[in-house]
Chain A
Amino acid sequence: MVTYDSGANHPETPHAGFLTRYLFSTNHKAIGLQYLWLALFSVFLGVAMSLLMRIHLVWPGVHLPFLSGLANSPERFATLATLHGSLMVFLVLTAAPQAGFGNYFLPLQIGAREVAFPRLNLLSFWATVASLFGMTAAFLIVPQSGITLWIASVALFCAASLATALNFTVTTIDLRCKGMSLPRLPITVWAWFINAILGMLIFSILLAACLCLLADRFLGTQFFHTVNFLASQPANIAANVLPVLWQRLFWFFAQAEVYIAMLPCFGLTTHLISTFSRRPVWKERLVVLALCGVGVFGFCVWGEHMFSSGMDPFSPLVFSVLASSLGVPATILLLSWLGTLWNARIQLNTSMLFALGFVSLFLAGGISGIFLARHDLAAAAVSDEFVTGHFHLVMGVAATFAILGALFFWFPKMFGRRLNEPLGKLHFWLTFAGVYCVFMPMHWLGLVSHTNIYSSARLATISTMLGSVRTFITVATLLTVFAQGLFLVNFLGSLFRGEKVETCNPWRATTLEWSVSSPPPADDFGARDPVVYRGAYEFNVPGLAEDFVPQHVAPEEVTKSR
């Protein structure tokens, strides 16, 4: 903050220090990019964790330099899962679509030049960085103090997310430009806005829960008393206390995160599908209502979980996963995507491919969710591979697809260069095939290992098969991870050598960020204040020369077709 203040007192000059310009800039675009870099770093760290887990699962004896010394006990293995989960869920799935793209594009899309409280924004970014360090450090120190540090880091992350959510909410309510009425907001902005309101509500609950946990650990209070907690659990779980307690804590927080991570992805996907189908969002109002529905639903399920069941996160989790995948809002969104795609002249570039991949994964995850609704099956399989597969497919991988789609879409705007399309498509197809190869057999594994109708002879054949399936999954994981190398090469290469974008609007899109240069100037809109004249998705309006009308084009400037 000191650095910032010194920057504030002097006008910006070309010689402003590196720290002021990049690390401590309060500009919403700089902070958005920093969140994206942070997410990129965390995603590769988290992927390394999952690789380590898979390798340990299949080849337990393999000696890995540096890391094998860390993961040589059951506690270590459990903390590995927690670190993978918390990095991916908090720093990638929560931070990238909401804080990353949101910070960069929410002000641009509503015609504001800044978020409502720029310095608060900077503060919450650095709090997020601190929580990343805390979570990672929690892995490296002894488990008991590691848990404490992890909880404190999560509390810090909650506080940072609260600040970001507050910023987004106020920005959307008060800082919209002239003409940007609520019905004209792009769906992306709606999703960020609703997500921010949801975040305001549930992150304070998480903060309160963290406070109770920390009080338990530091002050000897008994909010989450181990004995009370274990008394209500089945015997086989109670026998294996330590990893299960870790797992519980993880689920306890992850519960609300599902909605927080998915909401902006719904918005991004809707936006991409409409733009590249060259058609308005089908039933736009209904989509906004559905997004609100996801928000309300997500909050109620969390509330039910918190209020009624206190500390048993398992059965409500099952129903909430079911609800999130099969609820009415999700169906409406799915119908709207299909309705938009119906009979459209689809432009199949990488960005659109990832958006369609999101739809496919969402659908697949929803179908596997039906199985989870069966209570007896769910109770048996809930901590096992079926849920691992289901959860990763719906939340992790689908959200990553939406993030990648958005990155391919907005890369020209952010950096003034395009990502390489052939390389991007290759990356998409390898990843798409890869994740299905990883997570579909995982579903099957979960089902098989909890079925007891087999005779002992068949059991033997099944168990040898299970081993080879596990190996298959691990090999597929390795290949999928190496396919991400293509993305890294594409990303870093295009950053410096990519094809330059000459126009403001390479995708012929309609929203306000495409009315300014690429990358946008420091003050976003230059001397002229933006004015909005129409809705966000005016594609293929009959009687016009172009197949799209940007939001900022005045009615008298629209060229009619002859």
Chain B
Amino acid sequence: MPGTTATPEIEVVIEDVGGGAPPPSPPGGGDDGGDDGDGGEGRGNWSPPPKRYSTAIAIGLVSILMFFMALASAFIVLRAGSDKWIVVHLPRILWVNTCVLLASSFTLELARRRLSLADPAGFRKLWLATTILGFLFVAGQLFAWRQLVAQGVYIASNQASSFFFIFTGAHAVHLLGGVAALLFVSLHKFEKTSISLPAAAEITSYYWHFMDGLWIFLLALLYLGK
């Protein structure tokens, strides 16, 4: 259930990355009456500039950062004000997950390097590797949850465990949005859209690296906060 309210937000993110892209506009199709797809009203050959996607992702990331900062500040305030704070021992698997996520950022950059070197096959292979690593990370997080539950630590056990599950849950939901973006980039046909494949890959990479850094921050908070 922690994902309930995060879901609308992640939808926003997905829209930023891909879903908000205007559908293919017929290039010079005179008999189409200049339909660009957005609502179907003819507006000549006008289309919004592609750089709107990178602007949107930059602003969206600030917004997501504020979301997690609010949670983090609540954590700090409650941690400081509590006299009987029960410590949650972080499962070992978290460190493995962190390495997996860092590796995925690395493969993502390698993939983009391949793309700029005009090697689409290498790009697709490394991009797929990134996507798989992303899934692996989420699976690892779920495994960490199961380990805690096996130890008898539930979300409602105490405030520290609540924060652990809320932080990891909200981050995982946001990360799944990133995975969706990765899948979108690998499956979408970019010939007809206003945004090019390298641009889409670049925007996705911003989001992915941000999720990476955010995880490091949350992990540090949880580790130092105990």
Task: Assess whether A8 is in contact with B12, with CB atoms less than 8 Å apart.
Answer: no
Query: What 0/1 pattern do residues 202 to 220 of A give for CB contact below 8 A with B?
Result: 1111011111101100111
Across the interface, name the chain A residue whose C-beta is closest to B8: A159
Across the interface, name the chain B residue whose C-beta is closest to A122: B39
Q: With an 8 A cutoff between CB atoms, is A201 at the interface?
A: yes
Q: Which of B155-172 contact A (CB under 8 A)?
A: 155-156, 158-159, 162, 166, 170
Query: What 0/1 pattern do residues 39 to 51 of B give for CB contact below 8 A with A?
Result: 1111110101101
CB distance from A143 to the nearest CB of B (A): 21
Query: What 0/1 pattern do residues 21 to 53 of A give for CB contact below 8 A with B?
Result: 000011100100000000000000000000000
Task: Assess whether B2 is in contact with A219, with CB atoms less than 8 Å apart.
Answer: yes
How many pairs of A and B residues are in contact by the CB < 8 Å rule?
197
Q: With an 8 A cutoff between CB atoms, is B71 at the interface?
A: yes
Q: With an 8 A cutoff between CB atoms, is B27 at the interface?
A: no
Question: Could you pull out 23 A-B pairs where Cβ atoms are within 8 angstroms?
Answer: A4-B39, A8-B40, A11-B33, A26-B39, A117-B52, A118-B22, A119-B38, A120-B16, A127-B8, A156-B8, A159-B5, A162-B9, A163-B12, A170-B52, A171-B52, A200-B59, A203-B63, A204-B66, A208-B71, A211-B6, A211-B71, A212-B74, A215-B2
Q: With an 8 A cutoff between CB atoms, is B213 at the interface?
A: no
Task: Assess whether B155 is in contact with A219, with CB atoms less than 8 Å apart.
Answer: yes
With an 8 Å Cβ cutoff, the count of chain B residues facing the other chain is 56
Task: Assess whether A170 is in contact with B63, with CB atoms less than 8 Å apart.
Answer: no
Given known A-B contacts A119-B38, A162-B12, A215-B2, A221 and B49 have beta carbons under 8 A apart? no
Q: With an 8 A cutoff between CB atoms, is B202 at the interface?
A: no
The 6 closest A-B pairs by CB, nearest first: A523-B43, A159-B8, A220-B156, A26-B39, A208-B70, A522-B41
Q: With an 8 A cutoff between CB atoms, is A12 at the interface?
A: yes
Q: What B residues does A152 contact at CB under 8 A?
A: 4-5
Q: With an 8 A cutoff between CB atoms, is A10 at the interface?
A: yes
Task: Assess whether B8 is in contact with A222, with CB atoms less than 8 Å apart.
Answer: no
Partner of B155, one of A27, A162, A166, A220: A220
Q: What A residues does B62 contact at CB under 8 A?
A: 200-201
CB distance from A110 to the nearest CB of B (A): 12
Question: Could you tell me the distance between the alpha carbons of A210 and B74 in the complex, rounded to whole angstroms?
Answer: 13
Partner of A174, one of B9, B39, B48: B48
Across the interface, name the chain A residue whose C-beta is closest to B40: A12
Question: Could you tell me the distance between the alpha carbons of A205 and B68 in the complex, rounded to whole angstroms?
Answer: 8
Task: Assess whether A12 is in contact with B35, with CB atoms less than 8 Å apart.
Answer: yes
Q: What A residues does B46 contact at CB under 8 A?
A: 113, 523, 529
Q: With an 8 A cutoff between CB atoms, is B91 at the interface?
A: no
Partner of B15, one of A30, A123, A165: A123
Given known A-B contacts A204-B64, A310-B77, A529-B46, A215 and B1 have beta carbons under 8 A apart? yes
Q: What A residues does B152 contact at CB under 8 A?
A: none
Question: Could you tell me the distance between the alpha carbons of A123 and B20 in the complex, rounded to whole angstroms?
Answer: 10
Q: Which of B76-103 contact A (CB under 8 A)?
A: 77-78, 81
Q: What B residues does A200 contact at CB under 8 A?
A: 59, 62-63, 66
Q: What B residues does A353 contact at CB under 8 A?
A: none
Q: With an 8 A cutoff between CB atoms, is B60 at the interface?
A: yes
Question: Could you tell me the distance between the alpha carbons of A170 and B20 in the complex, rounded to whole angstroms?
Answer: 13
Q: What A residues does B71 contact at CB under 8 A?
A: 208, 211-212
Task: Assess whether A211 is in contact with B78, with CB atoms less than 8 Å apart.
Answer: no
Q: With an 8 A cutoff between CB atoms, is B67 at the interface?
A: yes
Q: With an 8 A cutoff between CB atoms, is A257 at the interface?
A: no
Question: Could you tell me the distance between the alpha carbons of A10 and B32 in the complex, rounded to whole angstroms?
Answer: 8
Question: Could you tell me the distance between the alpha carbons of A166 and B20 in the complex, rounded to whole angstroms?
Answer: 12
Interface of A with B (CB < 8 Å)? 4-5, 7-12, 16, 20, 25-27, 30, 112-114, 116-120, 123, 127, 152, 155-156, 159-160, 162-163, 165-166, 169-171, 173-175, 197, 200-205, 207-212, 214-215, 218-223, 306-307, 310, 522-524, 526-527, 529
Task: Assess whether A155 is in contact with B5, with CB atoms less than 8 Å apart.
Answer: yes
Task: Assess whether A175 is in contact with B40, with CB atoms less than 8 Å apart.
Answer: no
Given known A-B contacts A201-B66, A523-B46, A211 and B2 have beta carbons under 8 A apart? yes
Task: Assess whether B156 is in contact with A114, with CB atoms less than 8 Å apart.
Answer: no
Task: Assess whether A205 is in contact with B2, with CB atoms less than 8 Å apart.
Answer: no
Question: Could you tell me the distance between the alpha carbons of A174 and B52 in the complex, rounded to whole angstroms?
Answer: 6
Known: A152-B5, A306-B73, A523-B42. 6 other contacts (CB 8 A): A12-B35, A117-B20, A156-B8, A162-B12, A204-B70, A221-B159
Question: Could you tell me the distance between the alpha carbons of A173 and B56 in the complex, rounded to whole angstroms?
Answer: 10
Partner of A221, one of B4, B5, B63, B156: B156
Query: What 0/1 pattern do residues 87 to 130 of B give for CB contact below 8 A with A?
Result: 00000000000000000000000000000000000000000000
Task: Assess whether B4 is in contact with A204, with CB atoms less than 8 Å apart.
Answer: no
Task: Assess whether B55 is in contact with A173, with CB atoms less than 8 Å apart.
Answer: yes
Question: Could you tell me the distance between the alpha carbons of A116 and B53 in the complex, rounded to whole angstroms?
Answer: 9
CB distance from B69 to the nearest CB of A (A): 8
Question: Could you tell me the distance between the alpha carbons of A75 and B33 in the complex, rounded to whole angstroms?
Answer: 58
Task: Assess whether A221 is in contact with B166, with CB atoms less than 8 Å apart.
Answer: yes
CB distance from B85 to the nearest CB of A (A): 12
Max chain A Cβ within 10 angstroms of own Cβ: one of B37, B68, B158: B37
CB distance from B61 to the nearest CB of A (A): 10
Question: Could you tell me the distance between the alpha carbons of A171 and B49 in the complex, rounded to whole angstroms?
Answer: 10
Q: With an 8 A cutoff between CB atoms, is B225 at the interface?
A: no
Task: Assess whether A221 is in contact with B155, with CB atoms less than 8 Å apart.
Answer: yes
Q: With an 8 A cutoff between CB atoms, is B198 at the interface?
A: no
Q: What A residues does B158 contact at CB under 8 A?
A: 222
